[in-house]
Amino acid sequence: MKKNKSPLPRFPYWLLKKTHILDLEEGYSGDIEEEFQNIFIHKGRRKAVQWIWIHALLALPKSIKLYFLGWREMMKNYLKSAFRYMGRHKSYSFINITGLAIGIACCLLILSWIRYELSYDRFHTNSREIYRVISEFHSPGSKINYTATSQAPLAAALKETYPEIVNWARALRWDWKIGKQGEQYREFVWFVDPTFLDMFTFSFIQGDPNTALSVPNSVILTESLAKKQFQNENPMGKTVIGGQRTPFIVSGVIKDIPQNSHLDMNAIIPLEITTKAGHNLTEWEGYNYKTYIQLQKGISGEDMEQKVKHILTKYSPETKTTIQLQPLTKIHLYALEGGGLIIYIYIFLTMAVFILLIACVNYMNLSTARASTRAKEVGVRQVVGARREQLISQFLSESFLLSLIATSIAIVLAYIFLPLFQRLVGKEIQLSYSFETFVFLCGTTALTGLLSGSYPAFVLSQVKPVKILKGIFRSRTEGVIFRKILVIAQFTLSIFFIFGTIAISQQIHLIQNKNLGYDNENIICLDAVGGIFQNYSAVKNILMNNPNIVGMTVVDSFLDEPNSSATSDVISWEGQNAGESIPWLIVRGVDFDFQKTFGMKMAEGRFFSEEFPSDSKEGMVVNEAAVKAMNMDSPIGKKFHFWDYDGTIIGVIKDFHFRSLHKSIEPMVLKIGINLQKIAIRIKAEDIAATIKFIETEIKRIVPGYSFEFEFLDEKLNRLYIAEERMENITLAISFLAIFISCLGLVGLAAYTAEQKTKEIGIRKVLGASIGNITMMLYKDYLRWITAANLIAWPLGFYFVSRWLRNFAYKIDINIWIFVLSSVLVLFIALLTVSFQSIRAATAHPIDSLRYE
Amino acid sequence: MKELTKLEELVMIAIWKLSEEAYGVEIKNKVKEISGKEYFYNTLYTTFHQLVQKDYITKHFGEPTAVRGGKRKVFFQLTKRGLKMLETAFDRQSQVWDGITKESFKKGKA
């Protein structure tokens, strides 16, 4: 039997009904159903279903329009009540918005910094294919040593063996004096193979990249250096003098290298010219050249690294050195020994997220705590017919509104604090207007809105209307526990941040005040260029006549700069057992006055002296670390050999720090007269300006045309720890903000608690409680919370700080007092914040509080 | 007085002609019959709503029936105002088309 009724397909029917025809709804849907059944009876179900679908789809645009019309009306109402509520509770809204705005602004700045750091070297077209060759020096019983340089012929050898390598180039980076005659200044000069210009992306303003480096005596200047030297003249074809007297012809001008590149050159010179200065570009000895290789597109660097790792054994079977390929884009972020900037990026990213979280927690806390004040509104809405989804969307739209306001303020804040932040991180960071930023802002707004609004929405929409309107609403216990957890989490983070800040600043203090093994104050560093060597003794005689000049010496490089070094295959000594070796030996060229001028102490034997003529040929002084590495009992008088030098150890100098304290002291040999090019002058602390003036005029008198540029050694040294100092500043700033935002939340919470307990306080006072009793009662909760926060923050802080400290060879011990100090500090700040509200509540007259109903 | 739209006019004529039987489905069929065009329910109901608002028609409920899923029919009826409005429309139409017959079109001149 044919049925005379068929069920309506639900979805299209529902869609059709969405066109709400107001009061005619019943007739409307009835009509649809009737016609559906008619078609079903006469033409069958298929036709009927077809009919309803077509109708539903054709009516869809209107349904959507109507839906949004209704939505808009609801939104208007929600926003209106949100604004009213915010207006009525100004301090509450202020706390929420300020917290969120600071949090978002902080995120915005930190993320723009991270974006900047991640952008390093990525502007090169081939950035993904270029790798730098790293040499790893292995030796039993000691850590692996790394350098970013390798032997001169390596690159060509690699290219010969592996067809995957498309291109290679070597580079030497010198801090060199270059410029027109008499106008030479220190610039970073890169000596490179001509292929360098093909691998990396430079934009030429003048000159042809294909031929600019084909003549050994050519030089490419950056735009700013060209401007500095030649002002508005055309620099092409002009001559500049490099170092003492080497002339170069300008063959090209390139745009300045962007700041976000590790190629920090101001001038580029063909590497070939260094052969004239005695460099041998085919010799396998010495790891002196940065080597870059470019792989074919699609070749994985890791696979390639496995292939080339042990290539050096092909050229010297004994070697324990392997090589590594470091992607160009990682050079800036990853230190060779592990760690590096990337750690800071992670740390600050985490901190930014935490700050935002703290701000969100404030909002959640305050709005759940204040739920009771809104309960009536919720009750009325429910009675009038608001469904739970509607209440949830109301509270969510409220929190979205708040986060939108906060984001707008945050953008303004970010712009205001941008210059300060730039100084803090020491980089020219810009807030970008890119699509990404837009997405980030929308994302944060939505996320903050959702995060901070979801819990209040959930809690508030759950209450039963009858109870509320009868006035027996009470925030449920879960809410209280949840709130406690949130506050504890906030304070855990605050304590953790303070802990970190203290530890970092202590570590930096330690580094800056560590006894380096010599006196680094009042030492002036000068370049020995432009004919000063020819007249060195004359200069020295005159300068030493000044009673304010204590000592003067020439060295190969200053204490913080890269030194020459020798590897195990070119080192040997008297009494060396088979299998013993020094993986890495620093070679330092000095003169007779080195020890006297810097003030190092001798452990054994004596320093070089002009009284022993043999010293300058075969005398060698080693440091204590070297003696230890060689396992030598009585080093004085033993034969020692490195590179091509044979000699006798005449003394052992006490260990001194000549490099950044990230590294421990490495074995070192001192020898007279190797590669001397810098002058150090120790002066007295009195009348420094006059002494410097004296030095300048005297040197210029003897060596005309010498451009006098000096630096103090201690300032030079401090620059090594700039990364840490910045880190300290940023953590300090973020900790401050974290605590500030937490306290903002605390103010709100304290005000609320005091308000809730008004009656209790009144009764207690009537019964004879003192102000102290009551304040204590109000403090008790916070004390408990902060204690709990401490218990969580301590192990956390200990773990992360000790991980960070692993970056340093010399580090502080994490003392118990750091824990105590950070805890006490937070406790103090928190109680101070709370006390205003508490004391006000405690001193209020009981009559007022009991009458307030 | 404001003029009626074409659809309003159609709907009102359909209601008038249907008299006692004027509810959604029938109106829709009638409109199709006299104009040759099929309208959707949501379009028609929007018009009903507007006409009710303008007081040209009134509504009253019928009995619920099974075929309508237990929902009542909504019947419409012209009000006096509505009838007067239709009359005005008719007059205006006649005035506009005055003197034009089928013959005029055949001859091609009025």
* Tens digit of each residue's pLDDT (9 = 90 or more) over A51-82: 888 888 887 777 777 777 777 788 888 888 88
Chain position carrying tokens 């040997």 = A572
Distance (Å, whole) CA A570 – CA A590: 20
User: Are A27 and B59 within 8 A, CB to CB?
Assistant: yes
Long-range contacts from A431-440, C-beta under 8 angstroms, 24+ separation = A431/A108, A431/A109, A431/A112, A432/A112, A432/A115, A436/A115, A437/A112, A440/A108, A440/A111
ipTM > 0.95?
A: no
Chain position carrying tokens 């090169």 = A124
Higher pLDDT, B110 or A195: A195
**Nearest chain A alpha carbon to B67:** A34
Confidence of residue A413 (pLDDT cuts 50, 70, 90): very high
Res A2: pLDDT: 47
For the cut 90, the answer to whether the pLDDT of residue A44 exceeds it is no
The residue-averaged pLDDT of A525-550 equals 83
Task: Select from B46, B48, B68 the Cβ nearest to the Cβ of A34.
Answer: B68
Per residue in A140-197, pLDDT tens?
666 677 888 888 888 888 888 888 899 999 998 887 888 887 777 878 899 999 999 9
The residue-averaged pLDDT of B59-63 equals 84
Among the residue ranges A113-117, A299-303, A455-459, B91-95, the one predicted with the least confidence is A455-459
Res B110: pLDDT: 67
Q: Following DSSP, what letter does each residue of A469-538 receive, concatenated?
A: HHT-----HHHHHHHHHHHHHHHHHHHHHHHHHHHHHHHHHHHHHS--SS--TTEEEEE--SSTTTTHHH
Distance (Å, whole) CA A294 – CA A292: 7
Rg of chain A over Cα atoms, rounded to whole angstroms, equals: 37
For the cut 60, the answer to whether the pLDDT of residue A444 exceeds it is yes
What distance in Å separates residue A32's CA from the closest CA in chain B? Answer: 7
CB A119 within 8 A of CB A397: no
- Residues in A 22-41 with any Cβ partner in B closer than 8 A: 22-24, 26-35, 37-38
Structure tokens, A301: 């660097």
DSSP state at residue A317: T
| Chain CA centroid to CA A334, Å | 11
3-state secondary structure at position A135 = strand
Res A210: pLDDT: 86
Under 8 Å CB pairs connecting chains A and B tally to 76
Confidence of residue A132 (pLDDT cuts 50, 70, 90): very high
User: Are B69 and A55 within 8 A, CB to CB?
Assistant: no
Per residue in A452-510, pLDDT tens?
788 777 777 777 767 666 665 555 555 677 778 888 888 888 888 888 888 888 887 88
Task: Give me the helix-helix angle, A435-460 and A90-118, nearest 10°.
Answer: 140
Q: Which secondary-structure segment (H or E) carries A91? A: helix A90-118
CB A192 within 8 A of CB A170: yes
CB A642 within 8 A of CB A587: yes
Distance (Å, whole) CA A304 – CA A321: 17
Say what percent of chain A tops pLDDT 70. Answer: 94
Residue A237, judged by CB atoms within 10 A of its CB (0-12, 13-18, 19+), counts as: exposed
Q: Which of B29, B30, B74, B77 to mutate to test the interface with A (most CBs of A within 10 A)?
A: B74
**Nearest chain B alpha carbon to A55:** B40
Please tell me the pTM assigned to this model.
Answer: 0.71
| Chain CA centroid to CA A382, Å | 50
CB-CB neighbors (< 8 A) of A19 in chain B = 42, 45
Q: Which secondary-structure segment (H or E) carries A590? A: strand A584-590
Distance (Å, whole) CA A295 – CA A71: 58
CB-CB neighbors (< 8 A) of A8 in chain B = 69
Confidence of residue A250 (pLDDT cuts 50, 70, 90): very high
**Nearest chain B alpha carbon to A58:** B40
Among the residue ranges A475-489, A827-841, B13-27, the one predicted with the least confidence is A475-489
Query: What does the mean pLDDT of chain A come to?
Result: 83
Rounded to the nearest 5°, which phi and psi values hold at A564?
A: -70, 155
In 3D space, the residue among A317, A324, A261 whose CA is nearest the CA of residue A287 turns out to be A324
Per residue in A639-694, pLDDT tens?
888 888 888 999 999 988 877 777 778 888 998 887 787 888 999 888 888 898 99
Please give the single-letter amino acid code of residue A621.
V
Higher pLDDT, A807 or A702: A702
Res A621: pLDDT: 92
For the cut 70, the answer to whether the pLDDT of residue A19 exceeds it is no
For the cut 60, the answer to whether the pLDDT of residue A853 exceeds it is no
Per residue in A321-344, pLDDT tens?
888 899 999 988 888 877 778 888
For the cut 70, the answer to whether the pLDDT of residue B97 exceeds it is yes
For the cut 80, the answer to whether the pLDDT of residue A526 exceeds it is yes
Please give the single-letter amino acid code of residue A197.
L
User: Are B49 and A24 within 8 A, CB to CB?
Assistant: yes
Please give the single-letter amino acid code of residue A488.
I
Higher pLDDT, A719 or A128: A128
For the cut 70, the answer to whether the pLDDT of residue A603 exceeds it is yes
